[in-house]
Structure 1
Amino acid sequence: MLTNPRSDRVKAVRALSRRSMRARTGDFLAEGPQAVREAVAFRPDLVRDVYVTPEAAQRHADIVESARVADLWVNEVTPEVLAAMCDTESPQGIAAVCRALDLPLADVLADLPADALVCVLTNVRDPGNAGTVIRGADAAGADAVVVSDASVDVYNSKVVRSTVGSLWHLPISVGASVPEILAALRGRGVRLLAADGAGTTLLHDADLSGAHAWVMGNEAWGLPVEVRDACDDVVRVPIHGHAESLNLAMAATICLYASAEVRRTSR
């Protein structure tokens, strides 16, 4: 059992809270039972080490057993050690060091089906929003999520927690510029739908057939004019009450589910 919160290993894991260290090592920390469960179940090849307190090992015996069956390193640690490793104030007793899972943009687009549904995050800076959009894309059955170089790091601990495990469920590409992303999607025959409050097309009137990508903008200022102009249509979610606007993650999920429903009925 690891008992020293000041050991080199603990310091190395804690250092993954810094983006520079994640970029240098190619590793990140997944905290909490849901994130670790999904990583072990869906991408055990990317899990380097699992750290768990004795109490959590009993409470989440299924995760520990799955990790051992997958021949992963499972390390028991004291609560103090786990707290020193994690970014959250109250860790849930289990965490895992994982390798980055993103794919090159070309690889993601090469495997898209004919009726592909893609979600593009252009300048999304809020970790909670980014993680929740990835979770919504997963739930709606999207084929990929593409995150631009101007957006938050998807391996930020808050993003990872907000995905609630969806990070390991669908292909994700990060790091390309917005113009590069839009050009690559268009080159694959994917129509570009800008989701923006300035849109003249209402969601229920939008053409959601065939391969298309929802292009999502920044939480505060939405999509810049040049991005909207580069898309095939600019679509807005109608607001029937008195709310000024919708949260980015809410709007993204509504748009993705509208597309999922059209795809479901056309297959």
Structure 2
Amino acid sequence: MDIAQRADQAGRQANSSEWMDHAVRAGLIAYGVVHLLIGWLALQLALGDREGSPSSSGALQQLAEQPFGQVLVWLVAVGMFLLVVWRLLEAALGHQDQDGADKIRKRASSAGKAVLYGAIGVSAIRVATGSGSSGGSGSSGGKSGTDSTTAKLMDLPAGQAIVVVVGLAIIGYGVYQIAKAWTDKFAKELDPEGKSGQSGSAYLLFGKVGYVAKGIAVGIVGALFVYAGFTHEADKSGGLDQALYEVLDQPFGPVLLGAIAIGIGCFGLFCFARARHLSR
């Protein structure tokens, strides 16, 4: 057996090991905490408090301000990077039960999730070390970071088209989240015990509501990118915080934003349920 085969075998054993289950559970708890805090900040925004930023960085900043906050933020960072390891192993070696295009698509999805978890982990490190902030507050919604990235993309050849495509891809991901809720596909993320009895019914409700809320929020983020690409205005793009501010400014905005906030909180609770009844 050559080195490549040994490395492949070791990776498969690591991905299916009991310690990886524990690592994933720890990461899901951290991910759930982040979403509960985002939901809380979004709910405060719906009630008229514009001080916090309803985003992952804003949630981490809020966590850092609590007793033992820095320790908790470091724990979130560790949890997120454990999820990165899991998803990278999936991207490289997982989904063996799939063939052809399905395997490529699922491995690409795992790689994308690794990037998402890694971004939250890096944000946690920045907040824990004092080099990051909540990403802005108030009516601006903390847009500068996304603006600069979008502006750089627009400076590339066919930059506007690239921003539009990025936006459409984000919208597609949001639609997928809603479809996942509609078809109950997310239920596969719980073991049989996690789907049975009254507690199982509650977990499934958290998942359905949570995935719909996440899908709507992500879809709005994508729409902002598409609009920015068509208008060549980088400041029209934004992350989750700006998307939620856009919801707030619509008719019945506080009510709509409150519903999305509760949904994002439900997703956090579903992450806890998934950590307890992991199926992967």
Common fold, TM-score beyond 0.5? no
Per the normalisation by structure 2, the TM-score is 0.24
Higher helix share: 2
More strand by share: 1
